């Protein structure tokens, strides 16, 4: 008998009890164990086992296989961690209150729940949501919350991909967080890791070795076997689950270059969209910058590492490791504003191969740009924020470029109030595994010759230091006001690609031909920018118009074209000449 289900696998409450379904083609039999009592499941085609067993919300269980009892690979909750019992969750018990917001012009903030507040929980994070909305942020990108071993971690070594981490709260606590965010007009997208499983607490191979393959290389462990239909279904159903049962507004798919063959990404995006009753927003990280993800596989926007790397070099002069092929010059920012990626197939010396694919036909919103994210802050000696590594004038100019340009901007938690907390790599593992993880991290950082210090990922103090100090939002009020005003101005800016021109060794402009025309001048050099003479046609205002200063911070200035007022006196004429000289 076919039992109606929301998702293909896991434990779901139905009439008469709980319907369990699991994929275990390596097993001759599978039973559900509840309170020590085992109930055999019926074997289906293609290696699935299923059946209805007496129980309900809160029922603890494991699956009994030939060599022992193990958690459900699609467990919705692991209250005792990845090695403990799974728990049945009723997704319909929570009463949703707020309607999900529409995502039109995303201003994203990337958040790690464990360090976002001192408590590091979903409940504590809810209290800070009004402050994010006040700054103008409208999308929260939550770093992975799937269950993982230990007491702290980034979340990218998850092993129970369907279970919100016990460290942050219960599943309904996550629902309350999402609901509260919606109430403040904030959409929530979740960072999902579909390129590997973590090393501690992963039991899927007990059900079948078909989850993994040696066919493809993977830098984090065994590669996922996406050539197997049921493995693809596992991940596509997981994507749909977060949208359906947790009411998330989208996903950010991590390191898609390690999901091979890449066609599985289309299965995942289709599954997620089919589970939604509204448009959702799906972004992705792809190190080779493969255009197929946007053009063919259903991704809405790609992270643009090129933009970050050029900005980092422009702000700091640091050109080690993967920054080697960037100069941070004005031409790079003009080229990216007009053409998208900086590397679109030309030679990339650091990797000793061509990098990137053409993005000239991308819409600006399809590329996500950032000055900081979790990886890039941590990939430094001390996990320092960018404001600790450059001058205030340069940072203001680059922040203006980030927030006023039509690409989708992403901030990292606390960036809008110049948070001083570093963001380091942290992961809590047992002694032997902790040493292996530390060794791998140390070897990676050796790519940066100037890094002469190493901070142990498994030290609890490493994790503690990364927690935001929210009192700084008051003491750094100027930073909040600065970001809020730029985001307000962003709402008035054209969404089209601008024209651009280099004005000098450290200066450039972007010009939008719109109604009205806008002109953004960025100066990353020392002292004032002097444009005399002005042999650049993009500096010319439209006929019968003049440039009026809309906003300035000294190192960046935004002008709007306004109808030229008739000069009614010599004083007015002198004033107009002064404005022309200033522009």
Q: Which residues are catalytic?
A: 254, 285
Whether the bond between 381 and the residue before it is cis, its omega within 30 degrees of 0, is: no
Measured CA to CA, the distance from residue 516 to residue 560 in angstroms comes to 7
Q: Which of 245, 271, 197 is nearest to 11 (CA)?
A: 245
Transcribe 153-179 into DSSP letters: B-STT-SEEEEE-GGG--HHHHHHHHH
DSSP state of 427: B
Measured CA to CA, the distance from residue 24 to residue 65 in angstroms comes to 9
Q: Which of 54, 46, 86 is nearest to 70 (CA)?
A: 86
Q: Which of 512, 511, 507, 514 is nearest to 556 (CA)?
A: 507
**CB of 487 within 8 A of CB of 411?**
no
Q: Is residue 169 classed exposed, middle or buried when 0-12, 13-18 and 19+ CB atoms within 10 A define those classes?
A: buried
Q: Which of 504, 522, 506 is nearest to 559 (CA)?
A: 522
**CB of 78 within 8 A of CB of 71?**
yes
Strands 37-40 and 31-34: antiparallel
Measured CA to CA, the distance from residue 387 to residue 420 in angstroms comes to 9
Q: What is the dihedral of CA 380, 385, 390, 395, to 10 degrees?
A: 140
Measured CA to CA, the distance from residue 529 to residue 525 in angstroms comes to 8
437 CA to centre of own chain: 23
Across 285-374, the runs of DSSP E, i.e. the strands, are 301-303, 347-348, 353-354, 367-370
Angle subtended by helix axes 264-274 and 229-244, to nearest 10: 30
């Amino acid at each position: 008998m076919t039992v109606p289900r929301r998702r293909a696998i896991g434990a779901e409450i139905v009439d008469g009890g709980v319907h369990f379904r699991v994929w275990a083609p390596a097993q001759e039999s599978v039973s559900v164990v509840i309170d020590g009592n085992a109930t055999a499941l019926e074997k289906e085609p293609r290696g699935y086992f299923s059946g209805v067993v007496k129980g309900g919300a809160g029922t603890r269980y494991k699956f009994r296989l030939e060599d022992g009892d193990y958690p459900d690979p699609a467990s919705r909750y692991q209250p005792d961690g990845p090695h403990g019992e799974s728990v049945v969750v009723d997704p319909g018990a929570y009463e949703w209150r707020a309607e999900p917001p529409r995502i039109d012009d995303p201003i994203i903030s990337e958040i790690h729940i464990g360090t976002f507040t001192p408590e590091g929980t979903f409940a504590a994070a809810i209290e800070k949501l009004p402050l994010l909305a006040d700054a103008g942020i409208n999308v929260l990108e939550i770093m992975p919350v799937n269950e993982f071993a230990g007491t702290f971690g980034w979340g990218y070594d998850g092993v129970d991909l369907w279970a919100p981490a016990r460290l942050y709260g219960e599943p309904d606590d996550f629902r309350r967080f999402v609901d509260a965010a919606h109430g403040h007009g904030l959409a929530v997208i979740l960072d999902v890791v579909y390129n590997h499983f973590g090393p501690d607490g992963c039991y899927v191979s007990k059900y079948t070795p078909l989850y993994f393959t040696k066919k493809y290389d993977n830098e984090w462990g065994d590669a996922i076997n996406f050539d197997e239909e049921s493995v693809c279904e596992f991940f596509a159903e997981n994507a749909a689950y977060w949208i359906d049962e947790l009411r998330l507004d989208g996903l950010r798919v991590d390191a898609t270059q390690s999901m091979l063959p890449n066609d599985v990404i289309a299965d995942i995006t289709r599954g997620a969209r089919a589970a939604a009753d509204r448009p959702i927003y799906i972004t992705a990280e792809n190190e080779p910058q493969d255009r197929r993800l946007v053009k063919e596989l259903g991704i809405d926007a790609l992270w643009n590492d090129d933009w970050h790397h050029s900005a980092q070099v422009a702000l700091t002069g640091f050109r080690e490791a993967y920054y080697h092929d960037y100069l941070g010059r004005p031409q790079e920012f003009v080229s990216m504003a007009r053409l998208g990626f900086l590397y679109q197939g030309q030679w990339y010396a650091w990797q000793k191969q061509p990098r990137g694919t053409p993005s000239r036909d991308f819409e600006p919103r399809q590329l996500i740009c950032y000055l900081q994210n979790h990886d890039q802050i941590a990939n430094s000696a001390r996990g320092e924020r960018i404001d600790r590594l450059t001058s205030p004038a340069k940072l203001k100019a680059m922040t203006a470029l980030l927030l006023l340009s039509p690409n989708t901007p992403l901030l990292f938690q606390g960036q809008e109030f110049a948070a001083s907390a570093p963001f380091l790599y942290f992961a809590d593992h047992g002694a032997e595994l902790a040493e292996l993880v530390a060794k791998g991290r140390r070897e990676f950082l050796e790519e940066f010759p100037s890094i002469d210090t190493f901070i142990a990922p498994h030290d609890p103090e490493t994790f503690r230091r990364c927690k935001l100090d929210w009192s700084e939002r008051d003491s750094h009020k100027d930073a909040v006001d600065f970001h809020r005003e730029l985001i307000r101005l962003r709402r008035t800016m054209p969404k089209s690609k601008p024209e651009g021109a280099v004005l000098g060794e450290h200066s450039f402009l972007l010009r939008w031909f719109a109604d009205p025309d806008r002109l953004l001048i960025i100066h990353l050099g020392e002292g004032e920018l002097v444009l005399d003479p002005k042999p650049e046609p993009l500096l010319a205002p439209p006929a019968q118009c003049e440039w009026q200063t809309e906003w300035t911070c000294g190192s960046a200035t935004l002008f709007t074209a306004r109808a030229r007022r008739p000069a009614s006196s010599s004083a007015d004429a002198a004033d107009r000449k002064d404005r022309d000289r200033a522009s």
